Amino acid sequence: MKKILGSLILFFGVCSYCFAATVVLENFENLTKWSTFKGPKSLIGIKLITQGVPEGKGAMEISYNNMDWNGVGMSFTPKQKWTIKNSLSFSLKGSNSKNKIRLEIADNQGERFEYQIVDNFNTWKKFNIPIKNFKRRADWQPNTAPNNGLTLSAVEGLSISWVNSGKGTLAIDNLVLE
Ligand SMILES: [Ca+2]
Ligand SMILES: [Ca+2]
């Protein structure tokens, strides 16, 4: 009995960090942390929606018409420490536009890493993307960005933009680091 108890204590002791706590990055109950960016030919807007949202009382709906470049982003204050073991979990509601959504991480000093999702759905859909699946963005980086791989000790922010020209809507809720 003592031996079993000892093993159990050892298991839970060692494994207490197997179950890393989830970190809510954004629950979209308001949109105060988000801003939009766009080129001269494009349109973009965000609004809070409250009907049929997957978490809490609010979600963010983005309306876009991408003719050059546009997107939405949030900065982390303070910067955040992630680990490569984490995955990014969130719910999206597309508009079946077939446009390619670019989810982008700005890591330490703003180096950009992306993961692309095709909008081929128009109901809420949950995603869980391992951080290691984010690839260095090849078409653009800030002038000041280093090229030193995915460095996650001071993650600066997140953004959503579009790879191709096109228009549609995209809603997002429950952005969590797991
Ligand atoms: Ca919410
Ligand atoms: Ca880096």
55-88 tens-digit pLDDT: 999 999 999 999 999 999 999 999 999 988 899 9
Whole-number Å distance, alpha carbon 146 to ligand 2 midpoint, is 6
Residue 82 lies in a domain: yes
Domain at 164, CATH number: 2.60.120.430
Residue 173 lies in a domain: yes
> How much is the pLDDT for 3?
59
Residues, CB within 5 angstroms of ligand 1 (ion):
27-28, 55-56, 58, 173
Give the pLDDT confidence of 89-111 residue by residue, as tens digits: 999 999 999 999 999 999 999 99
Q: How many CB atoms within 10 Å of residue 67?
A: 15
> Is residue 49 over pLDDT 80?
yes
Whole-number Å distance, alpha carbon 118 to ligand 2 midpoint, is 26
C-alpha to C-alpha distance for 42 and 27, rounded to whole angstroms:
27
Residue 71 lies in a domain: yes
Range of the structural domain that residue 96 is part of:
22-177
Residue 36 lies in a domain: yes
Average pLDDT on 22-32 reads: 96
Residue 139 lies in a domain: yes
Whole-number Å distance, alpha carbon 17 to ligand 2 midpoint, is 26
Ligand with an atom nearest the CA of residue 52: 1
In order of 51, 55, 65, 148, 171, the CA distances from 125 in angstroms are: 16, 12, 22, 33, 10
Q: Give the residue from 53, 79, 84, 46 showing the smallest Cα distance to 161.
A: 46
Whole-number Å distance, alpha carbon 24 to ligand 1 midpoint, is 11
Q: For the chain, how many structural domains are there in total?
A: 1
Residue 38 lies in a domain: yes
